[in-house]
Amino acid sequence: MWIPIIKEFFNDLFRQKLRSTLTLIAIAWGTLSVVLLLAFGRGLGNSMMEGMLGAGNQVIIVYPGQTGMVYEGNPEGRRIRFMEDDVYQIQKVVPGIEQVSPQYGRGGGTLQTDLTRTTTFMEGVNPDFEIMRTMYPAAGGRFINQRDVDEMRRVIFLGDEIAVRLFGEEDPIGKELLLDSKPFTVVGVMQPKMQTSMNNGPDANRAIIPYTTFRNIYGNQYVNSMLIRPGDPAMQEEVVQGIRKMMAAKYSFHPEDEQAMPMWDFIEAEEMNRKVSDGLEIFLFTVGFFTLMIAGVGVANIMFVVVKERTREIGLKIAVGARKVHIIVQFVFEALFISMLGGLLGMAVSVSIVKAVQSMNMTEGAGEFLGKPEISEPAVMITIAVLVLIGLVAGIFPAIKASRVDPVESLRYE
């Protein structure tokens, strides 16, 4: 049954070469539009997520603030300050917390080598800071460890850009520099990363030392902020409420007073970023879908032409006993075949373009933010489903028209 149908299909294509070629090109172009828009949308979404995670990996940053409510006799505008012990007390009291770090900060820290001098915002933290802020060391180096903290070692971890400013092309690992005139040994340099959110400048220009060393040198009594990371992001709300309840009880402010203890919640930001990314993909798919639907009009057009040209043949088939369902199946199959053949061509070109773009080294400017396009399995499945839908819609009406041909009248058709 299928072999004669396929032969007739190709005969029809060759009889209408120009119209068939234009229809196939239209379907291929529509498919190309859908696949590339979804691929670049996915790449942009991944890039946005990577940039956000560059500033914090599912962390909650807790800042000291000023009370915005009168509470238990305490006036509005009272300053709240955090101690180191608060960080570890939170980890003990609030369930679900996996990692914490106190965070001291100091702007205008001076870094100096034999040939170069620069300033930066520097921080004193603990080893958990590496994962929470995605500051992973490049090959040959390391982040600060617990022994550095316990022994108040004068070791320093540098951002990748500030390391180049200080040491040029030399490997800085193991070398010494002066931090505010005090000698420190470089133990690691951060891997380059994309970062779209930041405070006090990008991590690429930052210097990190153990928080105990920071406190010992500068004498800070209060931490600038606290970094907290739940073990399960699903517990984000419980962790936030637990922190607020504990700190409100300790420092006598209302638990709902957000001004007293502002938080930067990366888990919530990540969820919002994912929704924006999904919305962008839906929008891009809609644009590509309508482009593909326009190509479907071309498929319907060529099928109506085929029905018109084969009226006598259809009438003869019906006269010798062909059932209407056979006529309908034949023309729907031909419409599907055109859609899938054009879709296959478009898909092949799309894959080639995506692979070519992926092979490019786009690490600067708009190329870095755009990210690398990615053809996902859902994108392929959605495109195939749309092609099938177009084939069915474009083929069913001409097929119904063909099945209603009057055998007697068809023999008179010229």
Please tell me the predicted confidence (pLDDT) of residue 9. 59
Count of beta carbons in the 10 Å neighbourhood of residue 85: 10
Please tell me the predicted confidence (pLDDT) of residue 156. 96
Question: What does the pLDDT look like over 115-145, one tens digit per residue?
Answer: 899 999 999 999 999 999 889 999 889 999 9
- Is residue 15's pLDDT more than 60? yes
- Is residue 1's pLDDT more than 60? no
**What distance lies between CA 310 and its chain's CA centroid?**
52
Please tell me the predicted confidence (pLDDT) of residue 310. 65
- Is residue 36's pLDDT more than 70? yes
Bridge partners for 49 per DSSP: none
Please tell me the predicted confidence (pLDDT) of residue 261. 92
Question: What does the pLDDT look like over 140-196, one tens digit per residue?
Answer: 899 999 999 999 999 999 999 999 999 988 999 999 999 999 999 999 999 998 877
Please tell me the predicted confidence (pLDDT) of residue 262. 92
Name the pLDDT band for 50 (thresholds 50, 70, 90).
confident
Q: What gap in Å lies between CA 238 and CA 246, rounded to an integer?
A: 12
Q: Do residues 343 and 387 touch, judged by C-beta distance below 8 A?
A: yes
Strand ranges inside 113-196, DSSP E: 117-125, 155-158, 176-179, 182-189
Residue range 383-411: mean pLDDT, rounded: 71
Please tell me the predicted confidence (pLDDT) of residue 368. 61
Q: Do residues 180 and 231 touch, judged by C-beta distance below 8 A?
A: no
Please tell me the predicted confidence (pLDDT) of residue 271. 82
- Domain definitions of the chain by residue range: 2-53+270-411, 64-96+236-261, 98-230
Q: Buried b / exposed e across 116-151, counting CB within 10 Å, b at 16+?
A: eeeebbbbbbbbbbbbbbbbebeeebbbbeeebbee
Give the Å distances, CA to CA, from 190 to 103, 162, 171.
18, 10, 12
Question: What does the pLDDT look like over 335-379, one tens digit per residue?
Answer: 777 788 888 888 889 888 888 887 876 655 555 666 778 887 887
Q: Is-above-0.85 flag for pTM?
A: no
